Each structure stands twice: as structure tokens, then as C-alpha cells.
Structure 1
Amino acid sequence: MKLPAKSRLEHVRKLNMCTNCLRSSYTVESCVSDGCRECGRKHNTILHFRERESSNIDQVNHSKPLEKSVSDVSVTNERNNISETERSSVTTHASNKEKAEFLLSTALIDIKDKFGKFYTCRLLLDSGSQSNFIRKDLCNTLQLNKQSVNIPVAGISQSSLNISEKSKATIQSKYNAFKIELPFLILDKITENLPISKVKYENLQIPKNIILADPTFHLPGQIDLLIGASMFYELLSIGQVRLGDHLPILQKTKLGWVISGGVPYHATDRANKQQ
């Protein structure tokens, strides 16, 4: 069930997320992402309230320093007045002025092909996107039915492309009975391999009782699917573990525990290569 704007705002506050880009660990004043497309205020469009209520959203998340900035790719269907957002690149800065990496929430899930057989693939959870995306090669491998669309995609660098196809697919958790059919826009490539460089797993001290949605989260790998905001909140479960200052956060979901947040540069493979 989709949450109303007020309930979404309460959930965002509870998780200590930025109300503009819906990510953790820094303040809304420092956020460089675009504001609401409805009223222009500095909050996410999916948190838009009517009239005076929208001003309440701009008064949260005032406690933490800037740790990252995000570049977005905006997707707009002009005829149907539909707006989509895809996260395209991430740069990070630790508060101690040391370069850092930023882990985005990934999960391994099973996806069903045309004949009912399931395959394992890797997805990215992105609360800043208003659509779901699937990699074209995967869609072809699964032999999923496609429909023609015409959605122009424009990035902040003024580059653009048209999304010409969409599909539907059933995904299910590897760790419980959760299963759902979702719509996807089809892209040749969703993003670069994530994370950008290998992260030292042992430095994060993840509790042994945590069942990770993606046990390979620390290894650079291909992203096959992107799940956007329309499903993001429905996947969240009660449960969060903070691993420490300037370290990622573990969030419980219906797909298992996902990990997201800054990682000190010295805990990455790139630091070793420069020594």
C-alpha cells in the first residue's frame, strides 16, 4: 500500500534521512539535489504537501555535516507529464577531510523469466528515483514481454537519450516469502559497477547475526535492476544498526539487511593501490 505524504515524512524523519534526496548522513541545507518539482521548496517531490504544510518538511535534518553530493539524471515524459529520476554518479567527502567512498544499498534477488524459471540478479535500491529500471540484456535473457514507450531522459550535463521500452517482471527475496511483480523501464546500462572500488569487509565489523541482502556489497559488480521510491518504502522493515562514526548504516528490508553510507578511504582497495 502506498503511503500518503505525511506518513512518508514521518518515516523519513524516523530514519534520519535528508528530506530532499532521501539519503542518510547529512543535512538538507547541504544537499545539492534539486528540490520539489511541485512547489520548488527543498524537499523531495514524493514528500510534497499542499499549501502551508510543505513548509514543515524544510525544518528537519539539521544535525550532521556534509558527507556526499549526488548528481541526478531526470527522466520526463512530456506527453503524460511523468517525471522520473535516476541516480547516475556519487562523490563523497568524509567530515575529517579524508577522501571516502559511499556504499549504495544493493541486494541479490531472484527474478522470474518468461517460463517461470528464477535467476539471481543484483539490484540497487534508490529512493531518489521515481521509476524502476531493468538492464536490457537481462530483459532479453529472461525473454520478458516489452511495450513501446517514448520517454526522453535528460541529464544535468545536457546529455539526453530516449527510453523506448518498458516491461514487467516478478522478483522475490532470497531469504523469505516476499514476492512482487513490478513495472520496469528498460535501459542499456543502469549505472557503473558498484561500489566504485573494493571495500574492506572486515573493517566494517558487521554483526554476525545480520543476514545481508547482498553478501557481495563490498565488491564492485554489475547492477541489473534499480528499484525506485514507489517501492522503496514498502520494502523497509523496522530495524537499523549504526556501525559507527563515518561508517555505513544497516537497514532491515524485506530483501534482507542492506548497507548504505560513507566508508573511510583507507578502508577501500584504492587506498592500498596508492601506498
Structure 2
Amino acid sequence: MNERVDHISIEGIGEDSPYSQNQVNMLLGSRINGLTTCLNAHVLLHILSSQLTQHIRIESWPTPQNLPFADLNFNKLGKINMLIKADLHYNVLAIGQFKLGDNVPPLQKTVSDWMLLAEHTDRRQKNIQGQSGPGKRAPQ
């Protein structure tokens, strides 16, 4: 990962406009297969928008065992390591969704694995739609 100084204001993350002071070039890879992509990313001190505020109970979900999730801990509270732009997000989606059942979010096939498409409601904001993947949440 190579880092360089680059000052930029980023719009649309939370209610503030955070500033990035550094930019990195990095290689992002799937934990499931050999898929990799090079990213040019801006570094933020923290993500300002709402994040998962409670553990999601998935024990009763009829999740197929042969569908590997990119993030094995997507349902647990934790730090979000990366947000990706919508144009990159849709470059990794593949055709195909798998419905698990009533009142359970569907799975979306990506080029490397499966993501859970979830809707999150926060008391401080309106409905926030996001996706769980390799440490990220992105708009649907």
C-alpha cells in the first residue's frame, strides 16, 4: 500500500463533509477466490454516518452452507474498515439474488462471493440501506 498527501473534501458521508488528507493505492483481494483489484482510496479518520448499532441474530435464518460470505462477522457490531463508491460497488455485483425466506434479507451474488442485502433503521436518521461485505457498507 502506497500513501501520498492529498487534501479533499468528501460529500455524502454522514451529516458532515469530512476531509481526507491522504490517499493510498492498495490491492484489494477476495478471501474466497483469487479475484483482486487495485484501488485508489482516500483515508478518513472515522466514518461519520450511522453504522450497525446492534447484533443481528441470524441463527434461525435458513442460510445455505455452500454460499460463502465475504465478511464472516457481518452480523456483529464492529468497526467498518472501508466504504466504496457506488460505481465500484456495482462493478463487483454479479447477476443473481437468493431469497432466504420471509422477513430475512436476500443474498446478492458478487464476482467473488455472496453479500447480505440489509436495511438498517437508526433512530437518529431515516432508513439507511446498506450492504454487508468485506468490511463495508454501500448504498443499494
1:233 corresponds to which of 90, 93, 100: 90
> 2:19 matched to 1:162?
yes
**Larger Cα-atom Rg:** 1
Whole-angstrom CA distance in 1 between matches of 2:101 and 2:48: 28
Whole-angstrom CA distance in 2 between matches of 1:209 and 1:193: 31
1:182 corresponds to which of 26, 31, 39: 39
Contact 1:173 1:254 in 2 (8 A): no
Structure-1 residue corresponding to 2:114 = 257
Residues 208-256 of structure 1: per-residue CA shift (max 9 Å, x gap)? 2211111211111111122222211221122211123332110111231
CA separation of 1:201/1:192 partners in 2, compared to 1, >3 Å: closer, same or farther? farther
Residues 167-210 of structure 1: per-residue CA shift (max 9 Å, x gap)? 11001111111011111011011357953211111132212221
Structure-1 residue corresponding to 2:100 = 243
> 2:70 matched to 1:210?
no
SS at match of 1:255: coil
Pairwise mapping of residues 143-158 of structure 1 onto structure 2 (< 5 A)? Answer: 144-153=1-10, 157=15
SS at match of 2:98: strand
Q: Specify the code of the residue in structure 2 equivalent to 1:166.
A: Q
Whole-angstrom CA distance in 2 between matches of 1:205 and 1:221: 24
Which is helix-richer, 1 or 2? 1
| Identical residues among aligned pairs (%) | 29
> Bigger shift: 187-196 or 201-210?
187-196
CA separation of 1:262/1:151 partners in 2, compared to 1, >3 Å: closer, same or farther? closer
CA separation of 1:160/1:232 partners in 2, compared to 1, >3 Å: closer, same or farther? closer
Contact 1:194 1:219 in 2 (8 A): no
Q: 5+ unaligned residues in a row in structure 2: which ranges?
A: 121-140
Whole-angstrom CA distance in 2 between matches of 1:195 and 1:235: 23
When the two chains are superposed, the root-mean-square deviation of aligned CA atoms in Å is: 2.6
